[in-house]
A = this chain, B = another copy of it.
Amino acid sequence: MRLEMQKPPPPPPPPPPSHHLEEEEEEEEEEEEEMVAEEEMEMASPEFVSCDGAAAGGGGGGGEQQLFVPPLNFAMVDHGVFRSGFPGVDNFGFLHSLRLRSVLCLCPEPYPEANMEFLRANGIRLFQFGIDGAKEPFVNIPEETIREALKVVLDVRNHPVLIHCKRGKHRTGCVVGCLRKLQRWCLSSIFDEYQRFAAAKARISDQRFMELFDISSLKHLSATFSCSKCP
């Protein structure tokens, strides 16, 4: 018996787009999250999904089949305010369509060069309020940093603004939760929204932070921005 010559195996598929940040956060939770992601992919019938069409930086051009790829955990928070996980190159076409005026990044790592280039090309201002993405016990949510971030979000001159961290769950969830407090949402609704994005990763420490966050110093700003404002 002799071994037949075989074609070399096909190269492994390219790695998913990465935003080149150190995996400081939730290393040990990573595997579990990947399993969840796989389950979701199964539901999403990936064989029918065609997301290749969205050109980075391009808005309307191209064929009719061009599709937009919103970043992970993307959602509209209120008029002129969006939230998401870390955007990658695949998401630039979609982000372009939002005509953002600013991006508020809550990660401490240097902003990736590709993202910087996208911001420059589209005249988008970057606000960075670095908060470490530590695991529980997450004792160090810096109240002052969240407060400064909120001031940027509340300033309509920065709208439309995209708030993002790495996964759009914890740091972003805390900023949005504090915003909801200013909008006088009751805590159970704030937590419900937080949990919708954090899902299995919801942290009681984040929720305690939102609960105890003192909005009194920001109240003079909140009147200019509300869910009730509609074009």
Which A positions have Cβ atoms within 8 angstroms of B?
A: 40-41, 43-46, 48-51, 54, 59, 66-70, 72-80, 94, 97-99, 159-160, 183-189, 191-193, 195-197, 199, 202, 204, 207-208, 211, 226-231
Closest 7 pairs between A and B when the two form their complex, measured CB to CB = A51-B186, A67-B186, A231-B231, A44-B191, A97-B228, A76-B76, A49-B187
Q: Contacts A67-B185, A184-B68 given: A230-B46 contact, CB under 8 Å?
A: no
Q: Contacts A49-B188, A185-B70, A186-B51 given: A227-B43 contact, CB under 8 Å?
A: no
B187 touches A48 (CB 8 A): yes
**B residues near A202, Cβ cutoff 8 Å:** 43
**B residues near A185, Cβ cutoff 8 Å:** 67-70, 94
Residue of B nearest to A159 (CB): B230
Give the distance in Å from the alpha carbon of A146 to the alpha carbon of B48 in the complex: 22
**B residues near A44, Cβ cutoff 8 Å:** 187-188, 191-192, 207
B186 touches A50 (CB 8 A): yes
Give the distance in Å from the alpha carbon of A76 to the alpha carbon of B45 in the complex: 26
